[in-house]
């Protein structure tokens, strides 16, 4: 028994040490953020990502970011990330320095980032350093964790809809390590009984089949040649697989959709001296979707069997091979110079293939095929330099310049992007910052719908589709008083050459000459964010408020400025956690924002006895305000062998408030009009158990 007590005591101490380490690391990061020159930067550590309420039992990077001020989430539960009035497809996602084009699973319900292997992430909404480029509205720089060089560790997580496995440890002790993360959903497994039951009810004449699965695999191998000489090899692949089939007498239908991403990189970090270090990465990234359906109808008349079949096969991808070389130079104690270059070669492709045939008694009577595809290759070199200059002990300026070129067939688009940020440390507790940045984006998401569907594809800027650009000024006051932190930040952002789908095909955008189905316009967004946090011991409370305006101008749509659909004028997020007992921690998030906007008829006329509705401007009606409470509780116990079991119970939308997801104009018998919104997402409880070893 005394031995057990001793082991338990050691385990508690080990856990406390881990907590202390995490706390000190977070505290150090907070200090760094106060001292950093950039505006609009949020740094999130792994511990923060993996604690709190987990929607569907899976911690999700994007859903964490959606709670931050200055970010609109769009449709409920989806992975929308509309940063400072952005379009949602203008965020640069980097995984270990590699651009990731598709960041969603299941149409946007889950993000592609497995938090088990993430070390930290930096989220920039403004004040972008010159080393980042290629997207207009934000940068999400995710870094996976190096594997433990000394001991083997891992974790297993089981949730209601997915499971996760993580393992790390030395390959050569002290020299080489690995970190591996695997995640897979089991919706396809749990739906097997339902499909079996449906088939027993249908009888022998009809058979249904299908299922959906998603999976992610992250791997990182780190080798330390010597202090300051490190090699990292990183790999990620994520896949979604949806299939459905229906077979009955005379007809067969099969649908299969696969989509996903793959990235791999080799990064070498080398420290020449305390004054000069470099980080060079060679990488490959691809995002692919492959959609196919097949219909076959069999008809037998007077002994002659006729099979009519139709096959559709759509493939789209974007592939990118790139090289980045980043250098840090400290020529003296007043300057920190960063400079470097990048070069990316892209392949963009979208193709559709449709075939149909009629076969009579085994002989092809009729066959037709229809192919269309659009492909581009482009080259995007860029150079940058930035200098963090310590002008005085309390005045810092970061001056940077990025020059990028985008070469696409028939056109070369140059882009000169100045980046400037000032920081004035008024005293030890208060600082003021101001920044101006210009960003360009040479990739366009060709999508007819606001969902992450496999039918979406990425296309480059062309001679007809200009690069999108944004200019943003941001500034604020940042204070820290003991456990309290209070930040106030404002921004004004303009966006040019942004595209909105204006084609007539409602769901599937055209492939060839896709540019003509988009209309060009501009946008602007301005507002302010307030962030107040209290953090002391086991209690952590944060409150975020955003007041913002987001507008668009599309000549071919309206001809004047109008409020955008994600113009959430007020947004409030309250986040609290309390580690109230040794094994217990509770979490609560309350989310509120002004309703999204939709377009209702504004007027009507009666023509020939029939009513015709008229629309005065886009997004003229605001949906009811959105609010939701999420609750969570962790039970955590550390065993004598230092293994740890954590059980998380999360309740999404705890008071079951159905928020408006869509709305329609309704008329009663007396001709009175009203808006009728429909809420779709109720209370969702989930439970997840994680065992760490």
Picking from 548, 459, 438, the residue whose alpha carbon sits closest to that of residue 501 is 459
Stretch that binds other proteins, among 175-183, 238-246, 416-424, 605-613 (CB under 8 A): 605-613
- Residue 251 is a binding residue for other proteins (CB under 8 A): no
**Residue 327 or 501: which CB sits closer to other proteins?**
501
Please tell me the distance from the alpha carbon of residue 616 to that of residue 562, in angstroms, as a whole number: 11
Please tell me the distance from the alpha carbon of residue 240 to that of residue 256, in angstroms, as a whole number: 11
Stretch 610-629 residues interacting with other proteins (CB under 8 A) = 610, 612-624
- Residue 368 is a binding residue for other proteins (CB under 8 A): yes
The token pair that represents 479 in the structure block: 């204070």
Binding residue (CB under 8 A) for other proteins from 33, 500, 574, 689:
500
Stretch that binds other proteins, among 171-179, 188-196, 468-476, 599-607 (CB under 8 A): 599-607
Please tell me the distance from the alpha carbon of residue 56 to that of residue 188, in angstroms, as a whole number: 16
**Residue 176 or 358: which CB sits closer to other proteins?**
358
- Residue 171 is a binding residue for other proteins (CB under 8 A): no
- Residue 301 is a binding residue for other proteins (CB under 8 A): no
Stretch 626-685 residues interacting with other proteins (CB under 8 A) = 658, 660-665, 672-682, 684
- Residue 508 is a binding residue for other proteins (CB under 8 A): yes
- Residue 372 is a binding residue for other proteins (CB under 8 A): yes
Closest CB 512 distance from other proteins, rounded Å: 8
**Residue 187 or 541: which CB sits closer to other proteins?**
187
**Residue 241 or 357: which CB sits closer to other proteins?**
357
Stretch 436-465 residues interacting with other proteins (CB under 8 A) = 448-451
Cβ contacts of 175 within 8 Å, gap of 6 or more = 149, 223, 224
Which is it for strands 91-95 and 138-144: parallel, antiparallel or unpaired? parallel
**Residue 336 or 466: which CB sits closer to other proteins?**
466
**Site for other proteins (CB under 8 A): how many residues?**
79
Q: What SS3 class is residue 246?
A: strand
**Residue 8 or 556: which CB sits closer to other proteins?**
556
Stretch that binds other proteins, among 183-191, 218-226, 335-343, 506-514 (CB under 8 A): 506-514
Stretch that binds other proteins, among 134-142, 192-200, 237-245, 496-504 (CB under 8 A): 496-504
- Residue 194 is a binding residue for other proteins (CB under 8 A): no
User: In sequence order, what DSSP letters do the residues of 525-541 get, joined into one string?
Assistant: EEEEEEEEEEEETTEEE
- Residue 253 is a binding residue for other proteins (CB under 8 A): no
Closest CB 649 distance from other proteins, rounded Å: 17
Closest CB 413 distance from other proteins, rounded Å: 19
- Residue 502 is a binding residue for other proteins (CB under 8 A): yes
**Bridge partners of residue 477, in order along the sequence:** 432, 488
Strands (E), 461-507: 468-481, 484-501
Binding residue (CB under 8 A) for other proteins from 300, 334, 559, 580:
559
**Residue 339 or 554: which CB sits closer to other proteins?**
554
- Residue 601 is a binding residue for other proteins (CB under 8 A): yes
The token pair that represents 532 in the structure block: 């107040």
Closest CB 584 distance from other proteins, rounded Å: 28
Contact map string, positions 331 to 360, toward other proteins, x by CB under 8 A: ---------------------x-x-xxx--
- Residue 305 is a binding residue for other proteins (CB under 8 A): no
- Residue 274 is a binding residue for other proteins (CB under 8 A): no
Stretch 129-168 residues interacting with other proteins (CB under 8 A) = none
**Residue 305 or 513: which CB sits closer to other proteins?**
513
Max CA-CA distance within the chain? 95
Binding residue (CB under 8 A) for other proteins from 169, 170, 503, 640:
503
**Residue 222 or 594: which CB sits closer to other proteins?**
594
- Residue 107 is a binding residue for other proteins (CB under 8 A): no
**Residue 273 or 672: which CB sits closer to other proteins?**
672
CB 209 within 8 A of CB 191: no
Burial of 52 (0-12, 13-18, 19+ CB in 10 A): buried
Picking from 282, 25, 254, the residue whose alpha carbon sits closest to that of residue 145 is 25
Stretch 23-82 residues interacting with other proteins (CB under 8 A) = 74-75
**Residue 106 or 235: which CB sits closer to other proteins?**
106
The token pair that represents 555 in the structure block: 């000549």
**Residue 77 or 121: which CB sits closer to other proteins?**
77
Closest CB 553 distance from other proteins, rounded Å: 13
Q: What is the CA 78 to chain-centroid distance, rounded?
A: 10
Binding residue (CB under 8 A) for other proteins from 207, 248, 308, 479:
308
Please tell me the distance from the alpha carbon of residue 554 to that of residue 568, in angstroms, as a whole number: 20
Burial of 177 (0-12, 13-18, 19+ CB in 10 A): buried
Stretch 577-596 residues interacting with other proteins (CB under 8 A) = 596
- Residue 370 is a binding residue for other proteins (CB under 8 A): yes
3-state secondary structure 272-288: EECCEEEEEEEEEEEEE
Q: How far is CA 432 from CA 391, 415, 592, in A?
A: 15, 30, 28
The token pair that represents 105 in the structure block: 């699973």
Closest CB 616 distance from other proteins, rounded Å: 6
Please tell me the distance from the alpha carbon of residue 467 to that of residue 346, in angstroms, as a whole number: 15
- Return the sign of the alpha-carbon dihedral for residues 475, 477, 478, 483: negative
Binding residue (CB under 8 A) for other proteins from 175, 516, 536, 570:
516
Picking from 386, 473, 475, the residue whose alpha carbon sits closest to that of residue 431 is 475
Stretch 518-547 residues interacting with other proteins (CB under 8 A) = 519
Please tell me the distance from the alpha carbon of residue 90 to that of residue 469, in angstroms, as a whole number: 10
- Residue 556 is a binding residue for other proteins (CB under 8 A): yes
- Residue 549 is a binding residue for other proteins (CB under 8 A): no
- Residue 598 is a binding residue for other proteins (CB under 8 A): yes
DSSP H helices, 158-292, are 187-190, 192-202
**Residue 259 or 554: which CB sits closer to other proteins?**
554
Closest CB 68 distance from other proteins, rounded Å: 21
CB 291 within 8 A of CB 455: yes
3-state secondary structure 58-118: CCCHHHHHHCCCCEECCCCCCCCCEECCCCCCCEEEEECCEECCCCEEHHHCEECCCCCCE
At 193, phi and psi to the nearest 5? -60, -35
Closest CB 652 distance from other proteins, rounded Å: 10
Closest CB 356 distance from other proteins, rounded Å: 5
Q: How far is CA 688 from CA 54, 108, 157, 158, 188, in A?
A: 9, 21, 7, 6, 19
Closest CB 450 distance from other proteins, rounded Å: 6
Neighbours of 210 (CB within 10 A): 15
Closest CB 442 distance from other proteins, rounded Å: 22
Please tell me the distance from the alpha carbon of residue 554 to that of residue 573, in angstroms, as a whole number: 32
């Amino acid at each position: 028994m005394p031995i057990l007590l001793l082991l338990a005591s050691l385990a508690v101490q080990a856990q406390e040490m881990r907590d202390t380490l995490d706390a000190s690391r977070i505290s150090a990061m907070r200090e760094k953020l106060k001292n950093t020159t950039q505006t609009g930067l949020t740094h999130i550590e792994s511990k923060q990502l993996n604690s709190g309420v987990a929607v569907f039992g899976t911690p999700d990077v994007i859903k964490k970011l959606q709670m931050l001020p200055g970010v609109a989430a769009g449709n409920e539960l989806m992975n929308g990330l509309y940063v400072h009035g952005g379009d949602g497809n203008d965020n640069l996602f980097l995984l270990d320095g590699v651009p990731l084009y598709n960041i969603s699973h299941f149409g946007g319900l889950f993000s592609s980032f497995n938090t088990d292997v993430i070390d930290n992430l930096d989220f920039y909404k403004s004040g972008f350093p010159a080393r980042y480029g290629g997207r207009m509205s934000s940068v999400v720089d995710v870094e996976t964790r190096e594997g433990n060089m000394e001991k083997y560790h891992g974790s297993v997580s089981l949730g209601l809809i997915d499971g996760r496995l993580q393992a790390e440890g030395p390959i050569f002790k002290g020299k080489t390590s690995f970190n591996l993360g695997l995640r897979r959903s089991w919706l396809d497994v749990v739906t097997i009984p339902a499909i079996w039951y449906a088939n027993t009810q249908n009888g022998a004449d009809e058979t249904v089949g299908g299922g959906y699965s998603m999976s992610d695999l992250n791997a990182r191998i780190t080798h330390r040649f010597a202090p300051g000489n490190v090699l990292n090899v990183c790999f990620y692949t994520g896949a979604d697989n949806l299939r459905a089939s229906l077979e009955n007498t005379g007809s067969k239908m099969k649908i299969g959709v696969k989509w996903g991403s793959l990235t791999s990189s080799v990064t070498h970090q080398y420290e020449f001296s305390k004054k000069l270090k470099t980080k060079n990465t060679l990488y490959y990234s691809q995002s692919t979707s492959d959609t196919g359906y097949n219909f076959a109808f069999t008809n037998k008349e007077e002994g002659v069997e006729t099979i009519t079949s139709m096959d559709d096969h759509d493939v789209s991808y974007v592939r990118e091979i790139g090289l980045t070389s980043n250098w840090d130079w400290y020529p003296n104690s007043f300057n920190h110079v960063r400079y470097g270059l990048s070069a990316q070669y892209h392949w963009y492709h979208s193709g559709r293939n449709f075939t149909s045939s009629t076969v009579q008694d085994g002989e092809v009577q009729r066959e037709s095929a229809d192919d269309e595809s659009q492909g581009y290759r482009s080259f995007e070199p860029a150079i940058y330099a930035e200098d963090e200059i310590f002008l005085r002990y309390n005045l810092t300026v970061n001056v940077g310049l990025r020059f990028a070129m985008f070469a696409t067939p028939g056109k070369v688009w140059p882009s000169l992007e100045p980046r400037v940020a000032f920081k004035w440390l008024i005293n030890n507790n208060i600082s003021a910052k101001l920044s101006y940045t210009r960003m360009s984006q040479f990739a366009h998401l060709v999508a007819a719908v606001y969902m992450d569907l496999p039918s979406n594809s990425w296309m480059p800027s062309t001679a007809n589709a200009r690069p999108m650009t944004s200019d943003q000024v941001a500034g604020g006051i940042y204070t820290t008083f003991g456990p309290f932190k209070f930040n106030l930040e404002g921004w004004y952002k303009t966006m040019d050459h942004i595209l909105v789908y204006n084609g007539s095909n409602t769901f599937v955008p055209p492939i060839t000459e896709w540019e003509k189905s988009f209309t060009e316009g501009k946008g602007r967004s301005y507002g302010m964010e307030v962030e107040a946090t209290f953090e002391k011991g086991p209690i952590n409370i944060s409150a975020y408020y955003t007041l913002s305006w987001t507008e668009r101008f599309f000549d071919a749509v309206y001809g004047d400025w109008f409020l955008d659909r994600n113009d959430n004028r007020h947004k409030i997020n309250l986040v609290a956690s309390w580690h109230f007992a040794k094994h217990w921690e509770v979490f609560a998030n309350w989310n509120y924002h002004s309703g999204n906007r939709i377009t209702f008829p504004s007027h009507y006329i009666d023509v020939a006895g029939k009513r015709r509705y008229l629309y005065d401007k886009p997004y003229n009606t605001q949906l009811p305000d959105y609010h939701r409470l999420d609750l969570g509780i962790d039970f955590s116990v550390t065993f004598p062998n230092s293994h740890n079991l954590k059980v998380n119970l999360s309740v999404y939308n705890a008071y079951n408030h159905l928020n408006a997801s869509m709305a329609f104009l309704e008329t009663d018998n007396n001709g009175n009009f009203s808006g009728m919104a429909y809420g779709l997402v109720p209370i969702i409880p989930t439970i997840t158990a994680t065992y760490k070893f």
